Amino acid sequence: MTDRYASFVRTGAGRALVKRLGLPDPPRLRRHTPGDPLLPGPALLGAATGGRLAEPVGRILTAAGVELRDQTGTVPPDPTAGGEQRTPAAGAGQGREAVDTPAGDAPTRPARFGALVYDATGITDSTQLRQLYDFFHPPARAVLPGGRVIVLGTPPAECGSPREATAQRALEGLTRSIGKEFGRGVTAQLVYVTSAGDAGTLTGLESTLRFLLSGRSAYVSGQVVRIGAGGPGTPVGWDRPLDGQVVLVTGAARGIGAAVARVLARDGAQVVALDVPAAGDALAAVANEIGGTAVQLDLTAPDAPTRLADHLADRHRRVDVVVHNAGITRDRTLGRMDADRWDSVIDVNLSSQERINDVLLERGLIPDGGRLVSVSSIAGIAGNRGQTNYATSKAGVIGLVDSLAPALAARGISVNAVAPGFIETRLTARIPLVIREAGRRMNSMSQGGLPEDVAETIGWLAWPASGAVGGNVVRVCGQSLLGA
């Protein structure tokens, strides 16, 4: 459904009113179109003294076609070229105005950046946090609309001393605040990268940077993403990162599920789209549009897991990616809720996912290196009045990720969830107007997200290149204040 307020504030009269009254000012978000450059401008890359990631990150960004600057605003040497390599170092040019001219030339105009990327892994004590200020303060007002801020750290649990763990944990406060402060569709994320990594860790870092820097992550901000080990890194065709993958999407007839089916098919997947028989026509239309197949099945039927497994075995012999998206709401305050509302929501949103995972795993249909991605909700993080059943089911989905991810990691099967905030679908169109408006505006983007925003995030977690990205719950909520 359309956000009339957002459309109005983009008119001349709307702009004037927003300025005069200090009203929310939803920016136009930078969303992905195939063929787009990763960023709207050059990236400023820096590192704390002793950082271990700036060099591989420099290589990843250069390979992705990103123009790199260091803190002087100059272009550092190509890190992929042989010979002596220079990593943009912390402290270089501190306090100097960033310029977009080569070193030695007279400054012309201040440089503007598509992204600020900072390797903070070298910070081992709170007294060294000053390096964050030194890096981010000069360009803080020079990030382009729709720009990206990424801080890289070491997971606190892996740190060698309490002081290092303390300093690394502090990075969250910086990134979440930048997400709230910079505005104009700029997003900010913290990426914790294991220090005990393998080739798959670097591939996972690359897939994550390619997602977070691009327009695919338009409505993801203030998130902490963890990258662990990922086995041997596999070569990836980044234009079609899901080429040849068989993907099951539940609840694919409309809303977020239909967007997931479309986005994953665009990225090369062969999509098996599933929904209830009553949604058969809409489901067939989605499946035809993307050259996928349709399965009409009520996930809560006792024989649903076996029928689904039989279908996947007969038609595809496997399923590389399972996207558990189907979900329902049956809202009532707890005192007024009948048992049917409770049971149906828990069964569709949580128990059916468990039953299907069990059967697909037991029958060996999910190969090593497979992906499970579930759709949770910020209601599962924050709770919500009138949604005890729904919030219980969606918190349970997070429990499923926490418990299953370590159990399946040895087989290279990653388990993650996305937790959407306010997304413009039929589900949210039913919310009463005043609550709907509050839901739309109470986030750093001052607007609701689109089904495509959730779909792009699921796509990234589903990529074969994202094997090292496991056990995460990534909110797609524009940095909602709920459960923050």
Tokens at 342, concatenated: 């409770």
Supply the minimum distance, in Å, between the C-beta of residue 299 and ligand NAD.
4
Closer CB to ligand NAD, 149 or 271, in the complex: 271
Q: Is 377 in the site for ligand NAD (CB under 6 A)?
A: yes
- Binding track over 294-313 against ligand NAD, x by CB under 6 A: ----xxx-------------
Q: Is 422 in the site for ligand NAD (CB under 6 A)?
A: yes
Q: Which of residues 98-157 bind ligand NAD (CB under 6 A)?
A: none
- 63: number of Cβ within 10 Å: 13
Closer CB to ligand NAD, 66 or 299, in the complex: 299
Tokens at 345, concatenated: 């929501």
Choosing from 60, 322, 375, 450, the residue that interacts with ligand NAD (CB under 6 A) is 375
Cβ atoms 471, 415 nearer than 8 A:
yes
Supply the minimum distance, in Å, between the C-beta of residue 252 and ligand NAD.
7
Q: Is 328 in the site for ligand NAD (CB under 6 A)?
A: yes
Choosing from 115, 152, 188, 253, the residue that interacts with ligand NAD (CB under 6 A) is 253
Closer CB to ligand NAD, 254 or 441, in the complex: 254
CB proximity list for 422: less than 8 A, separation 6 or greater: 428, 439, 440, 443, 448, 449, 477, 478, 480
Clarify whether 133 is annotated catalytic: no
Tokens at 198, concatenated: 């393998």
Closer CB to ligand NAD, 132 or 323, in the complex: 323
Q: Which of residues 19-58 bind ligand NAD (CB under 6 A)?
A: none
Cβ atoms 3, 14 nearer than 8 A:
no
- 197: number of Cβ within 10 Å: 19
Single out the segment in contact with ligand NAD by CB under 6 A; choices: 40-48, 98-106, 215-223, 424-432: 424-432
Choosing from 224, 294, 309, 423, the residue that interacts with ligand NAD (CB under 6 A) is 423
Phi, then psi, of 303 in degrees rounded to 5: -95, 10
Find the Cα–Cα–Cα–Cα dihedral 11, 144, 478, 398, rounded to 10°.
160
Q: Is 382 in the site for ligand NAD (CB under 6 A)?
A: no
Closer CB to ligand NAD, 224 or 253, in the complex: 253
Helices 255-266 and 280-290: angle between axes, nearest 10 degrees: 20
Count of residues engaged in binding ligand NAD, rule: CB under 6 A: 27
Q: Is 199 in the site for ligand NAD (CB under 6 A)?
A: no
Closer CB to ligand NAD, 168 or 393, in the complex: 393
Beta strand pairing status for 293-296 and 270-275? Answer: parallel
- 364: number of Cβ within 10 Å: 11
Q: Is 61 in the site for ligand NAD (CB under 6 A)?
A: no
d(CA 366, CA 69): 43
C-alpha distances in Å from residue 282, one per residue of 80, 130, 222, 254, 374: 48, 55, 35, 7, 22
Choosing from 153, 255, 464, 478, the residue that interacts with ligand NAD (CB under 6 A) is 255
Tokens at 202, concatenated: 């670097």
Q: Is 277 in the site for ligand NAD (CB under 6 A)?
A: no
Q: Which amino acid is at 13?
A: A
Choosing from 275, 452, 453, 456, the residue that interacts with ligand NAD (CB under 6 A) is 275
Single out the segment in contact with ligand NAD by CB under 6 A; choices: 11-19, 47-55, 183-191, 273-281: 273-281
The residue to which tokens 């902490």 are assigned:
224
Q: Is the dihedral of CA 87, 93, 98, 101 positive or negative?
A: negative
Task: Show which residues are catalytic.
Answer: 390
Residues interacting with ligand NAD, by CB under 6 A?
Answer: 250-251, 253-257, 275-276, 279, 298-300, 325-328, 348, 375, 377, 420, 422-423, 425-428
